[in-house]
Structure 1
Amino acid sequence: MDRLSVVDEIFLRAHRGMGTPIALQGLWRTADPVDGELLERIHAALRTGPLGRRVIRSRVPGARPRWQTTEWAHPPALTETAIPAAALLDWADAQGDDLDPEIGPGWRVSATELLEGGCVMSLTCSHALADGRALTLAIDHALAGTPLAAPVAGHTDWADARRQWATVIGGTARALRRGLPKRPEPPRDRTALSSLDQSALSSLDSAAPWSGGRSVPVTRSAITQVSARDWNRVAVAHDGTANSLFVHIIANMLWDSGFQEPTLTASLPVDTRDEPRVDNDMAMTEIVITRDDTPATLRRKARTAYEHRMTSPGGIPEELLQVIPDRWAYALAKGAGERDILCSNIGTLPDSLLSLGPHPCTGVAARAIHPGLRPDRLPRTRLSGYLTRIADAYTLSVVSLDPDAAPSPAALVDKALADLGLTGTRW
């Protein structure tokens, strides 16, 4: 589709400071250094691929913004000096700064050598451009030439506006005949009290969203690889699936971090694409988890939840968010999809991602990062988990959005795995 979807625009508003800033990131770790020439070739393939686009707004009221092809991109960046492996994730977190899906560029390729040997390459893009599955499709297309579905031709601005207004007016009228829906209570922003001081707040207030300027550290991350054979064995032993075991692990991590509530709610992204297309083709659903839940009970809860996706309240058409001013749309949709934890199972990655040119990868991970997230405006989500499988390994990427929680995400992952008889290899 050459027009932005409702989900695209939610992420676009987040980029502009109305919501939680999100960028998607793929990480490749190799045992050998990756030279600048190879990085240039990968960058060139991406620059002319589906990530090479930016948002163009329409002047016709009600017409959706559209995508325009652009080959303007951040140059491929290879650090001048190697970094210690212990600083790998701090370096990766910084690769989300200065992305702009509207003015451009909305993505970046970068790499760094490690003092202990080897290299890490990062592909980061604004969530307005792609979701997790789409990011893997884009890099598969760049590395292996795997074909993608052709974009669906759109309408003129005037035709698109007529269609949007017809959908909104007709759908709203039908919904109102059933009674005025109750406006959902928007979640309150959380504040990491122990991480703030007045000077830090002052510097944050003077910075533009996603400016990449001085900030208080907010998120902490961990990446761990686990044998696929062991992961699946434990899932089957608990009458669950690889996915329900994943949700069980993230839930237990939140409780181990000090979360006091007797229940928590998990948001589960659902891939809704029927063709290999680079966009935000996803829906959200949710499940409520208790401390007594197991991989078996979570398997049943998730199966039921996947049949009931999150929708706008009272049957009001979601297209309403695309025809009203941005700040109104943000107020109506604030916190949409945010729950106590996020469990994003990105799925099996294509084999083309197993190497970068002649260099076999020792690890591949995918996750979201939050450049510019302020410690005084934290979302409801406290812990996000991302699961991928490639070859004979699962990779679990965890991002904590709760600076006051202890211990570290890596320690929480180790404990959650050990409780199930699993061990992993930390990045």
Structure 2
Amino acid sequence: MPAVIRTPIDNSGRLQFADDLFARRHRGLGSPIANQWIWRLESPYDPDRLRHIATGLAGGGLSRRLHRAKLPGARDLWTNADREPSIELYDDTLPAAEIADWLQERHGDHLDPHEGLTYRLTAINLDDGTSVVSLLLAHAVGDGGSVLDAVCRASRGEPLRLPPVPASGWDRLRAEAADSRAQWRAVRDWATARRRAKQDGTAARATKAPRVYPRTTPNPDPHAWRMPRMIAEFDTETMTKVAAEHGGSTNAWFINVVADLLVRIDHVPVDRGDVPVSLPMSDFQPGDVRANSTRVAMVEVPRDVLDRRDLAEIKRLSKAAYIRLGQAGPGLVPVPLAMMQMLPDAVLDKLPQPPAAACMASNLPQLPDEYRYAMGEDVRLVAGLAGYQNATAQDAYDVGGGIISWLIQSGPRTTLNLVAAEPDRVPDLAFLKSLVVEELGSWGLTVEVW
């Protein structure tokens, strides 16, 4: 088997390609994208503990400020923002039945990496004696790997420090000139690898036929539509048992579930039977200062495999997808990402927006204890929601729709977390809840929906 190809870690603090795309959204090129991590506690929140965590976050790698490069071709730079902790502890008590609406409102809270406002920690007590904590984070400054690391560091009081504020004058220009040259070398290396890929026949793997969508009934009121987001919790042991009975792992079960949901809403290409599911995989390493280090594998599940619920076959297919991702070299990338990153906003804004994945399925099977118990020792579970902030129906149409899903295991309880960018196929939250409860119920799971 060919060796896994590892790209050297860039710890310069310069924005990675994904950081750049997410940051541009905060400048107006589309709706900003934010991740929301949620802790459900069995008792009222501890304000002193949350202030301690917020202080740790304020001095760490998630609290970043973006410095725009002045020299064409050079990448922008991250440094620590060193702002006051962003925390809001609500004094009033929220009815437990309104928790979903409260979380939806928090997901829309303003974030701006250019000003160093990159996260918001909020908490509120519920009328059933429990509480909920929300950590909203601009995706530009942190993916799953970096947020896990940052919260654990905040718990220990060991924040990650980024490279210093950029030098001024000629020192800054020299540093940016060096980065610009490196970017152009990356474009040249891509072109060389691409030519070799064409010669040995692997370049064809870099292109795919455009996605074709079935016709749908238009949303009756697209101007009022907002992206539905939901959390469903259930027993971890039962889920694990169900997965084993069908010959697979919980990850294979998760892939089957989200692929089923794509089929149920008729969001599958009409020209083939396979259902595409994107599988994010963290490449984060200790001491990593990159904001986004996630890579994405793609598994395409045949419809007959879904119909049989053959989790052993899905496990085999997903393992092969991870191997392909690990072996993928620069010659298989269809676009020189360094060159895309050089384009100014005005040019990039005129280019067609690439379609989002039909489904992003992120599985977090084991959370570190420092993360799980960061907000309180009596944590019931951890949940997570991702997606476009305050997105309109047109925003969803622009990216081609799709769903974003996380599966998060917190000891005895697991959450399936879903966001649907489907104005026509998933018109509202009630529809999404019904869809998910029916799907999970068909696997024998008893579900509690937030």
Fold conserved between structures, TM > 0.5: yes
Q: Secondary structure at the match of 1:123?
A: strand
- In the TM superposition, what whole-angstrom CA distance separates every residue of 1:267-303 from its partner, at most 9, and x where no partner exists? 1111122336362111112122333223222212211
Contact 1:137 1:276 in 2 (8 A): no
Aligned to 1:283: 295
Q: Matches of residues 23-422 of structure 1 in structure 2 within 5 Å? A: 23-73=34-84, 75-96=86-107, 97-145=109-157, 156-172=175-191, 175=194, 193-194=218-219, 196=221, 200=223, 216-259=224-267, 261=270, 262-275=273-286, 277=288, 279-293=291-305, 294-309=310-325, 316-329=335-348, 334-335=353-354, 338-355=356-373, 359-378=377-396, 379-405=399-425, 408-422=431-445
The code of the aligned residue for 1:241 comes to S
Contact 1:348 1:390 in 2 (8 A): yes
Shift of 1:160: 1.1
The code of the aligned residue for 1:251 comes to A
Distance in 1, Cα, partners of 2:394 & 2:89: 33
Distance in 1, Cα, partners of 2:92 & 2:340: 46
Shift of 1:312: 8.0
Contact 1:221 1:398 in 2 (8 A): yes
**CA separation of 1:328 and 1:312: change in aligned 2, threshold 3 A:** farther
Q: Secondary structure at the match of 1:395?
A: strand
TM-score with structure 1 setting the length: 0.84
Contact 2:267 2:358 in 1 (8 A): no
Contact 2:278 2:360 in 1 (8 A): yes
Distance in 1, Cα, partners of 2:235 & 2:104: 26
Distance in 1, Cα, partners of 2:440 & 2:312: 17
Distance in 1, Cα, partners of 2:249 & 2:374: 31
Shift of 1:145: 4.0
Shift of 1:340: 1.6
Distance in 2, Cα, partners of 1:162 & 1:40: 43
Aligned residues with identical type, % of pairs: 28
**CA separation of 1:185 and 1:67: change in aligned 2, threshold 3 A:** farther
Shift of 1:422: 2.1
Shift of 1:188: 9.9
Moved more, 372-381 or 116-125: 372-381
Shift of 1:224: 2.1
Alpha-carbon RMSD: 3.3
The code of the aligned residue for 2:240 comes to N
Give unmatched runs, 5+ long, in structure 2: 1-10, 167-173
Aligned to 1:207: none
Q: Secondary structure at the match of 2:255?
A: helix
Distance in 2, Cα, partners of 1:224 & 1:314: 36
- In the TM superposition, what whole-angstrom CA distance separates every residue of 1:52-81 from its partner, at most 9, and x where no partner exists? 211101111111111121122564112342
The code of the aligned residue for 2:446 comes to T
**CA separation of 1:183 and 1:417: change in aligned 2, threshold 3 A:** closer
Shift of 1:331: 6.0
Shift of 1:119: 1.1
Contact 2:41 2:380 in 1 (8 A): yes
Distance in 1, Cα, partners of 2:88 & 2:220: 31
The code of the aligned residue for 1:401 comes to A
The code of the aligned residue for 1:225 comes to E
Distance in 1, Cα, partners of 2:374 & 2:336: 44
Distance in 2, Cα, partners of 1:316 & 1:340: 20
**CA separation of 1:72 and 1:333: change in aligned 2, threshold 3 A:** farther
**CA separation of 1:271 and 1:384: change in aligned 2, threshold 3 A:** same
Name the count of aligned residue pairs. Answer: 408
Contact 2:18 2:292 in 1 (8 A): yes
Shift of 1:196: 3.5
Q: Secondary structure at the match of 1:239?
A: coil
Distance in 2, Cα, partners of 1:367 & 1:357: 17
Moved more, 286-295 or 306-315: 306-315
Moved more, 219-228 or 158-167: 219-228
Aligned to 1:212: none
Structure with the larger helix share: 2
Q: Secondary structure at the match of 2:393?
A: coil
Distance in 2, Cα, partners of 1:359 & 1:385: 26
